[in-house]
Each structure stands twice: as C-alpha cells, then as structure tokens.
Chain A
Amino acid sequence: MSRAKSSRKLYSTVPDKIFDVCNIIFMICLMVVTLYPFLNMFALSFNDANDSIRGSIYIWPRVWTTANYEYIFNESSVFHATLISALRTIVGTIISVFCTAMLAYTVSRQEYVLKKFVTIAFVFTMYFNGGLIPNYLLTKELGLLNNFWVYIIPGIIGVFNMIVIRSFIEGLPEGIMESARIDGAGEFTTFMRIVLPLTVPALATVSLFVAVSQWNSWFDVFLYNSSRIELSTLQYELMKILSTSNTAANSSGSAADAFASAQGNITAVTPTSIRATMTIVASVPIILVYPFLQKYFVKGMTVGGVKG
C-alpha cells in the first residue's frame, strides 16, 4: 500500500494536481453551502432583533444579545413545548428501541416456529398501510386524540429498524447464546443479559434514527393534538410561525397571536429573531449528538440498505 501511495505522488501529473485543487475547492463550497444557513440563524438569534431589521447579518452577530433566548424561554409556550419534545424523544426512544430489539431477537431465532409468520406480518406493513383517514379514525376510536401517548404507541415498532437489529443479532456467534441456554437461562434472560449488551452498535444506530424522528416530528401534533396547547412540541410551534409568515398560506390562530404578542413586546423581539432562535434551539441537540454516532449509523445504513 505504502509503495502505491508513494508512486502516486511520484507520478502525479499536472492535470492530476489541477483536479485535486478543484476537488478541494468544490468540497469547501459544499461545506459553506451546508453550514451557512445554520451560522446565519445563529447570528440572527444572538443579534439584537431591531438591529437585524437593518439587514446584512451574515455569520456573526453585530449587536450581541441573549434577549431572543430569554424571550422564548420566559414568555411563551416555547419552553413547555421544548420539554414535551424532550420527553417524547426520551420516552419514545427507550420504549421503541427496547420493543423493536425484543421483536428482532425473536425473529432472529432460527428454530422459532412463528419466525416466518411474524416477519411477513411486519414486512407486509412496509408496503400496505391504511393511509391518513383510517389511521386518524383508529386513533380517535382508541381515545388517543389529544393524548401524549399518540406520540409513542403508534410508532413503537419500526420495521426497517427491526431488520437492522435482526441482521446484527444473526451475525453474533451462535455459541454465546447457546452457552447461556445450557446454563439454564430462559429466552428472556438470554435476551436481556446476553443479546442486548452485544447489540449496542445496532441499538445506537436505531436509537439515533428513532430519537431524530421523534424530535423532528410535527405532523402527528398537528393532526392529533393541535387543540391541546400543553401537548405541543417545539417543531410544531416553529411550524406555526413558519406558516404564518408564509405569504397567503393558511394561517393558524395561535401562531398569529404569538406573532402579535412578539411584536408588541417591550423586549423588542421580531418574528425573524424568534424564528432564528427557535431554529437554533430545534437544531442544537441534533448537531451535538449525530457526529458521535457517525460510525454506527454509517454501518447501520449499509447493513439495512443491503438486507432491507
């Protein structure tokens, strides 16, 4: 390998070097285009709202202030919505990942007589679903409208996630589980004590997917819980602000109120500054977490992509 590398350097020609330079410039442009919007939102969120109206805030605040953050966390429902977002993310991820892993374990067992039946019953639902209206009516019938649990229960099992975990368990050496069984451990004990700890890489991947989708979802709030403000989430609050500032879009009442109170407030925040601040609050947890799980999700995607 090292010989090949050095020979590459020796024989690298002029066009080769031009290509390298262009490639690096292109990659830098890509990073700028990806990061600029976040830096811009960051700058707007820490800049004085009235000063921002003058324009030309790009990647750094001109007049530093934390007033925007103080405003959204003190005087509006945003703080409560952030708590609900965090709660559904934590509770939803723990329950969903545990249940999906347990189901994945049962269908990974070759001798399980219902293995095929269970697998087909779940994979079928990847292609056929009732759609919006039947799901809505079911949710209503089950009393899950205006209920926190509508965020958790309908999404407990993700079939794609199940396939990722199952493939991982199938790759574990059979001997480990066999020896546990010889020692008299039951299936559940084997699952809890042996399989779960060994499956951590797959669980990390799936946890990230579930947590991100929990944190990011707003449509279930909109569809099922929009009449109970205390169940609103951060993303839904942001969505309401977005749709009011969307010219001629169907406006929603409470967001318009938020707007009015924002504009009339003496701390002088503007819709733009609130939007930017909420965007940052909604993105920061994700920005802080995903880079550390990179090696897991890259592997998980590759496995799921090939076998799923």
Chain B
Amino acid sequence: MVGKHTSQTVVAASTATGSSRIARFFKQLSKQKMLMLMSLPFLIWVLIFKYVPLYGWTIAFQKFRPARDLFNQEWVGLSNFKFLFQEEAFYRVLRNTLVMSSINLVLGFVTAIVLAILLNELRNILFKRTVQTISYLPHFISWVVAANIVQTALAPEGIINILLLKLNLIDQPVLWLGKGEYFWSILGATEVWKNVGWNTIIYLAAITTIDPAQYEAAEIDGASRFQRILHITLPGMKSVIVILLIMNLGHILESGFEPQYLLGNGMNVDYSENLDIFVLKYGMNMGNYGLATAAGMFKTVVSFIFLMAANNIAKRLGESRLY
C-alpha cells in the first residue's frame, strides 16, 4: 500500500502540474481531517435539504401525480408554463406582488430614513434609547400577532373607526379589510408599523460614522439644523441608502407571504393574493403541483436575474458590491 501510494505521488509530480496540485490538495485535506469532519454533516444536510428540492423543479415540466414517484412522471414539456402565462389569475397575482412590494419598498425606505434622522436629532440620550427600544418591539412579534392587532384595530368597533368617528372624518364605521381597494394601503401601513424601528438600525450605524467635526464646522458657518441634515447627515447615509435600495430592488418579487395570507379574506382577495399564495393555492389546495412549481420557479429565476442586474448597477455606480 505504501509503495503504491508513493509511486502514485511520484508519477503525479513528474507528469503534470495539474495532477500535482490535486495530490497536494488531498494531502492538505488529509491534514485537515478534523475541519472536514466538522463541515461534512452540513454539506450532506445542504445537499438533501437545499439541492434535492432544486431537482424538484423538474415537476414544473411534468404532469405530476402524487401517487407515482418522482422518476415515473409524465413529461409535458412547457405546457405548465404555457398554461400559467395564459391564466388571468397569474397576471393578477403578479400585479399584486409588484404593487405591494413597490409600496413596501418606497414606504419602508422613506419612513426608516426619516425616523433615523429624527432619532439622531434627539438630544436626550435616555429618551432616544427608550424610543429605539420600543420601536424595535413590533419587529420581533409574529405576523400572527401583528395580524391580530391589525384586525382588532380595523374592526367596525375598533380603535381606528372610533377615532375617525370622533374626528368626524367618517359618518359610520368602515369595514376596512372588507374593501379590496384599501388592502394595499393597510398592508403598507402595517409593514411600516412593524419594521420602521428595525430598519433604522443600519442607517443609525451609518450616521455614527460621520465625523462630528463636520457638524461643528457647519454650525460655525451658521448652517441651520435643516441645512446640516441636508448637507451632512443625508450625504453620510448615501452609500448605505444606495446599497439597500439596489438590494431591495432585487427582491421586488418578494412581497412577503404571511401578512397577505393572514389579513387576506374573500372580500379583498383580488388585491391581497400574491405569487406565494398563488403557489400555495394551486399546489396544496388544488393539487396542481406542476403549475405551482412552475410559478415558484418563475419567481426564483426572475428574482435572481433582478438581483444580478442590481448588483451590476451597484458596481457600475462605484458603490461596494452586495456580496
């Protein structure tokens, strides 16, 4: 065994540099046996739980029957995709997905940046900390709880109707979640309520990297508070804003699943149903696995193209890359 091994190494070394590199690789690997043993279980895990489902994409090209196993399905080519692109409901959920994620994107950005700037202007540190801690709270609670809260607040006898009635803005209670055309605004507001505090974290971190001397110099030059925000704070946050904006543009098909599913109902379904709910409905409820997988695959591939494009734009603009 030993002789064979050495002769192999000699041959490998004498023939090509490529194979000697392989030999060196295995020699190093055997030295790093422990490191390999420590990562091996997770490589197997990722193979099973992340890469095997990718093979499941083949279902998109099959007329899938759950009774048969994965290898004995009937291949139908692109007919699932053809059906999908002819389906009117698909365009409706695509519209809902794009509109809701755009609303979330714009609202999420503007509110978080404004709140970060306003927090930075607070002079009392204890007060600032308190506001921050409280503002993080909704991020940590579940969407089930958040949906419960929203539903309670928007109920006919809920706090929103009570306040609006007292302010004489409406004559009688409005069934907010029963009207589809309100759904997008409700969802946008809910997302802001839940995540605005959390989203300020990264902007506040960017603000702390700004040199305080800049503010002092501006003050000596007689710059007003508003001018300082406009010419020092905002430019200091610029690169973070650009990176996050681009990154989020790459996630434009990810409008979320839980809030739409939990707040959606029969009366607002035309506005609340998005791609993920479409996949769930066609796949799990109707058992059309092929069509649901095709829709899911469409989403992943388009998302990836968006993300790549976004990354390229970021590079071209001279901002640091995302990953």
Contacts and interface: CB of A to CB of B under 8 A. Distances in A.
Interface of A: 1, 4, 7-8, 11, 13, 15-16, 19-20, 23-24, 26-27, 30-31, 33-38, 40-41, 55, 58, 99, 102-103, 105-107, 109, 111-114, 118, 121-123, 125, 127-138, 142, 153-154, 156-157, 186-188, 191, 212, 215-219, 223, 235, 238-239, 242-243, 245-249, 275-276, 279, 282-283, 286-287, 290-291, 294, 298, 301-302, 305, 308
A30 B197 CA distance: 10
Given A19-B225, A23-B118, A103-B39, A134 B267 contact: no
B148 A242 contact: yes
B151 to A, nearest CB: 7
21 contacts: A19-B225, A27-B122, A31-B130, A38-B137, A41-B149, A113-B28, A118-B39, A122-B46, A127-B304, A128-B54, A129-B50, A130-B56, A132-B292, A137-B70, A138-B52, A187-B32, A216-B142, A235-B145, A282-B144, A283-B141, A305-B244
Given A113-B28, A131-B296, A238-B144, A302 B225 contact: no
5 residue pairs, one from A and one from B, having the closest CB atoms? A134-B56, A130-B53, A131-B296, A216-B142, A248-B266
Contacts of B56: 130-131, 133-135, 137-138
A287 B145 CA distance: 13
Contact of B201 (A13, A112, A245, A298): A298
Interface in B276-323: 276, 279-280, 283-284, 289, 292-293, 296-297, 299-300, 303-304, 307, 323
Contacts of B149: 37-38, 41, 279
Contact of B202 (A249, A286, A302): A302
Contacts of A290: 136-137, 140
A125 B25 contact: no
Contacts of B42: 99, 102-103, 118, 122, 156-157
B142 A294 contact: no
Interface of B is mostly: helix
B300 A239 contact: no
A35 B134 contact: yes
Nearest to A26: B118
A216 B212 contact: no
Q: How large is the interface on B (under 10, 10 to 19, 20 to 34, 35 or more residues)?
A: 35 or more
B159 interface: yes
Interface of A is mostly: helix
Contact of B148 (A136, A156, A238): A238
B63 to A, nearest CB: 14
B272 to A, nearest CB: 11
Contacts of A287: 137
Contact of B46 (A121, A212, A219): A121
- Pick the most buried of B39, B197, B262, B300: most chain A CB atoms within 10 A of its CB: B39
Nearest to B27: A113
Interface string B188-201: 00000100010001
A106 B35 contact: yes
A302 B38 contact: no
Interface in B70-96: 70
B43 interface: yes
Contact of B54 (A109, A134, A137, A186): A134
Contacts of A134: 52-57, 59, 293
A243 B265 CA distance: 9
Nearest to A33: B193
A55 B280 CA distance: 38
A219 B148 contact: no
